Structure 1
Amino acid sequence: MDETRQRIQLVRLLYVSRAVGPQTTAVTDSILSVAQSANRQRGITGVLCQGQGLYLQVLEGERGVINALYNRITQDRRHQDVQLLLLEEISQRRYADWAMAHVLLADDDPMVQLHHPEFDPYSAPGASVLKMVADLVAKGERIRKTSV
C-alpha cells in the first residue's frame, strides 16, 4: 500500500448552529455525555461552546470520522441553521486531551461582550471564530473538561 494512503489525515472542523428549543443544563449534559463516550471510541477531540441560543463546536480527528459526525449533526433535530465555518487539515490536535470540553457562552462573558462586541459567528470569518473559541478555552472560565 502507498505510504501516503497509510497515514491518517487529521482535520479540524468548526461549525455553528442555532439551538432548537431552550439550551437547558439537562439537554447540554445529555449531548455531552453521548458525545464524550462516542468521541473516545472514535478518536475525536474538541470543544463545545454553548449559550445565547448557539452551539459552536470544534471537532478534531480522522477526516472520514469527522465528516461522518458533521453529517449526523446537520441532520440532528436539536440543531438548525448548521453552517460549516472552517475545515482544515492539521498535523497536531489543539484539544488532544479532551473528548469534549464544554464552554458556556454567557451573555455577560467579557470575551463575547468586550473583546468581540459584534459577536456573530454566522458573519465572522471562520479563522476569527476559531481564535475566539481558543481564547475562551485559554481563559478557562466557565469550562468543563472531560479527558480522553
Structure 2
Amino acid sequence: MNIFSLFKLKYAKERLVEEATYQKVVNEIANGMRSDGLWAKAMDKAAGNEMKTKALYIQYRVQSLNDETLMNSVAAHEQRIIAAIQAIVSIGCRVEGDENKGWRIISLKKESKDLSWKVRNLNELEAFAIAAKSI
C-alpha cells in the first residue's frame, strides 16, 4: 500500500467518525436530550433565529463530543503511563523523565546498582514494565 492510499484511508476513517458523531447528535435531539449550556450559547450567537440556533447547536454539540473523545483518550494515555511506572517502581526501580524527553529507569537493587535504561516512548515503557515483572 502506498502513501497516497494510506492518506485516503485516514481521511475516509475521519469522515466516517464525523458522520457517526453527527448521527449521535441527531439521535440525542430526537430523544429530547439537549445540553442546555450549548443551547444557550447557540441562542446567543443566533440572535433569536430558531433555525440558526438549531444549526449552531448541532455544530457545538459535535465539537463537544469530539472534545470528550479527546479528553478520554488523553486520560487513558496518562493511566497507561501511571500503570507502567507503578509496575516498574514495584520491582525496585526508579523512573525519571517524562514523555517528551523519554524515561530513564534506574535499578535500586544493590547487586545491579549501576544499571539504568533509557526508553523513548510509552510502548517501550510498557514493554519494560512487562519484561521486568517476568524476571
- Band the TM-score falls in, shorter-chain normalisation: under 0.3
TM-score by length of 2: 0.25
TM-score by length of 1: 0.23
Name the structure where helix makes up a greater proportion of residues: 2
Name the structure where strand makes up a greater proportion of residues: 1
Structure showing greater Rg:
2
